[in-house]
Chains A and B, each alone.
Chain A
């Protein structure tokens, strides 16, 4: 197990393996999303309160789930990179941030579209989840801005890793404070996703969508980390041999 992980962490090996893995992740992710979309849009029974409007959760909930998981991936990568000085872990953190920001953006937009008929307004500060997502987006922006501001890659890795870890400690506190604030806020309508007992015909497409989004995220993350690895290893022998096979040498 450990030797496998150790091998995976070596850049040339990762570069080769990831190329073979990415198409499978894309295919499996698309399959799950296709099933989830068709079943969710056409076969799941309409919600009693929200009617067909509830079908927005089939994209909103998976996007919100991935937006938070991406931060966890980023913080864990940052922690591993900082403690064990593993370069690949830093590359994972660097790749996860923009993807997490995109999924957070997606969760915000779909949440806002959901809110329009529910609350009669595009944005409701009284909803703790949407407000937390907005702050999560700001955290991603801060992380990416810090990374972009430091030219030296190794230094950018370590500085942004500290920020990611400080952010990870703060996220539960931010969520708690937003919840406390909205519990006092008058007239707040909480986003009701499902309720305690969700009909299986509603639930399974949702689970499929979450799985599909996770697989697509994994594929996108691998692709980005692959690019990162190639760029970071640009001065090494294996990259040279990869770009310029022996026969082609000038």
Chain B
């Protein structure tokens, strides 16, 4: 476990890496969520259009 200790800067280093990981994950999730929303939106819209015809 010793290599995980970064001297007195341990908290700073690990929190930086942690925040980076969190932000990257948020970016990925955000991109996926938007894609899903657009897809389901399109499905509803196109179904409505087809049934009208």
Q: Which A residues contact B (CB, under 8 angstroms)?
A: 37, 41-42, 46, 50-53, 55-56, 58-60, 63, 98-99, 102, 105-106, 109-110, 113-114, 116-117, 216, 220, 223-224, 226-227, 230-231, 234, 239-240, 243-244, 249-250
Contacts and interface: CB of A to CB of B under 8 A. Distances in A.
A117 B3 CA distance: 21
Contact of B27 (A50, A102, A231, A244): A102
Report, nearest first, the 10 A-B pairs whose CB atoms are least far apart.
Answer: A53-B9, A52-B6, A223-B31, A59-B20, A227-B35, A250-B50, A110-B16, A56-B16, A52-B7, A231-B38
Contacts of A234: 42, 45
Interface of B: 3, 6-10, 12-13, 15-17, 19-20, 23-24, 26-28, 30-32, 34-35, 38-39, 42-43, 45-47, 50-51
Instruction: State the majority secondary structure of interface residues on B.
Output: helix
Nearest to A95: B31
Nearest to B42: A243
B9 A117 contact: yes
